[in-house]
Structures are given as structure tokens and as C-alpha cells.
Amino acid sequence: MIIIGEKINGTIPVVKQAIESRDSAFIAQRAVQQAEAGAHFIDVCASTAPEYEIETLKWLIEVVQDATDIPLCIDSPNPRVIEAVFKYTNKPGMINSISEEGDKCEVLLPLMEGNSWEVVGLTCDNEGIPTDLQKKLSITTSMVEKAAKFGIKPDRIHIDPCVMALSTENNSMLNFAAEIKAIRELYPTIHVTGAISNISFGLPVRSLLNKTAMAFAIEAGMDSAVMDPINRDLMGTIFATYALLGQDKHCRKYSKAFRAGQIGAVSK
């Protein structure tokens, strides 16, 4: 599982406060904690007023890169912001994200030509997030074909089918699993990602739904996730699911994760 750490995002109240006060120690600590917990990429999202976003995202990039060597996932709904801060990264990471909305592909895909950057691709367009599977596959195909023009192969793309909240769509998990399987069948080497916690929005005991949904998604073929790597219950679910699916020989990764303190009860 490719883990994209989600804990440096200005929509989180404590992170917003740290950004406003320029508390670099707090941001650095969050970066290190996620790296030590097993994150492969650390998402950095400013979520500030548009006039301050480039400056803020540049600051976040610098703080996180000083704190850890884990590659960044540069996150903004505005492709021009990502384009502006791209030059401040010191190694290839991930762009979050392209879609068929506006000119995101046209602005961001050229940045990935001739290097090893990866990208998240959302299955949405100018009309929003479709509910039809074939429409999502059509959007996926369009993004993959546009990426190919810049030498970007499917194995550098993480397609996010945009899981819906179970509270508003009763078949959300069933639809998400079908989308994962269909995307992987269409492009066997592509990655499928998602913010799995979206499925539990508005419901009680969200952690229970999130863990269960993660197991279902992995079984369907999801191999990337935007999540909190410090959450031992969720991390434990990931390692346990791979072991139970026979994809962890002699449960070595599961056992190693336990010894490393990534899963299991927190010591007191």
C-alpha cells in the first residue's frame, strides 16, 4: 500500500493555527511522525485564501523538506498554485491533482515530462463527480491518454474514483469496489487511490467504517491511500488485510510492522 500522509492540511484546525502563526516546529513534527509511521509521501495543502496560498505552500514545502526526506505530495485545487511552487521541491514526489475539470491536465502534466513525478487523477470533470461507472472510466481514459503525450505511463498515475459518503449513497462501498476493479482491469499497472475516510462522513463511530472500508477496498485492488499513517488501527487493518489475502508471505510484513510499533496497542 502506497500511503500518502494527510495530516498537513490547512483544513485541519490545529494545522490552520500553525500555518497562521508560522509554527514550523509543529509542522515539522507532523511530517516526521508521518514519515516514521510509514508514509511514502507527505501531502502538503495550505487551504488558505487564494492570495496567500502560493506563499504558504512554499513555506510548508520548505519546512517539511528540512524535517524529512520523504517525498512531498503537493496539494491544491488550483493548478497554477502547484505550477508556481513546483520549483521549490528538491526531489520528485506527487502532484495532487489532475482531473477533467478546467485546464488542470494542460497545466500540470507538462511538469511531469522527463522526470519521475507521480500524480493523483480525480474522476471528475466540469460537471462534478459522476455516479456512472462508465463516465468515470471515460474520464480515467482521457487523463491517461493526455499523460501519455508527455511520456507519463499509467504506473505513475494514482486514479481516485472519489468515494461517496455512505450516509448519502447506500451503495457507496459497492460502487467504489466496482470502480476500483474496473479501473485496474482497464489499466493493470495503474494505481488506484482514495481518501477512504470520506465514506464515513456524517456517521457515528467513523473509525469502524473506515477500517472495514479499507479492507474491502484493498481486496478490490486499491493500492494507494490518502490517510493518517499515525492511526495504528487503520495501519493494522492494511497489514492484516494483505496477510489474510495471501499477499504477505509468512506474514512477514505484518510481523515486521508489529515489531516496528506501526500496529498494535499504544505503549503506556
Q: What is the pLDDT of residues 156-187, one digit of tens each?
A: 999 999 999 999 999 999 999 999 999 999 99
Q: For residue 50, which amino acid is it?
A: P
Q: Is the dihedral of CA 22, 28, 33, 38 positive or negative?
A: positive
pLDDT of residue 261: 87
pLDDT of residue 265: 67
Mean pLDDT of 52-61: 98
Q: What is the pLDDT of residues 60-117, one digit of tens each?
A: 999 999 999 999 999 999 999 999 999 999 999 999 999 999 999 999 999 999 999 9
The CA distance from 221 to 182, in Å, is 10
| Residues 37, 39, 45: CA angle, nearest 5 degrees | 120
pLDDT at 267 over 60: no
Mean pLDDT of 10-14: 97
pLDDT of residue 121: 98
pLDDT of residue 264: 82
Q: What is the pLDDT of residues 197-245, one digit of tens each?
A: 999 999 999 999 999 999 999 999 999 999 999 999 999 999 999 999 9
For residues 248 and 28, is the Cβ–Cβ distance under 8 A? no
Does pTM surpass 0.85? Answer: yes
Quick one: angle between helices 172-186 and 133-148, nearest 10?
40
Q: For residue 232, which amino acid is it?
A: R
pLDDT of residue 268: 36
pLDDT at 21 over 50: yes
Alpha helices per DSSP H over the chain: 13-20, 24-37, 50-67, 79-85, 104-108, 133-148, 172-186, 206-220, 232-244, 252-259
pLDDT at 266 over 60: no
Bigger pLDDT: 89 or 261?
A: 89
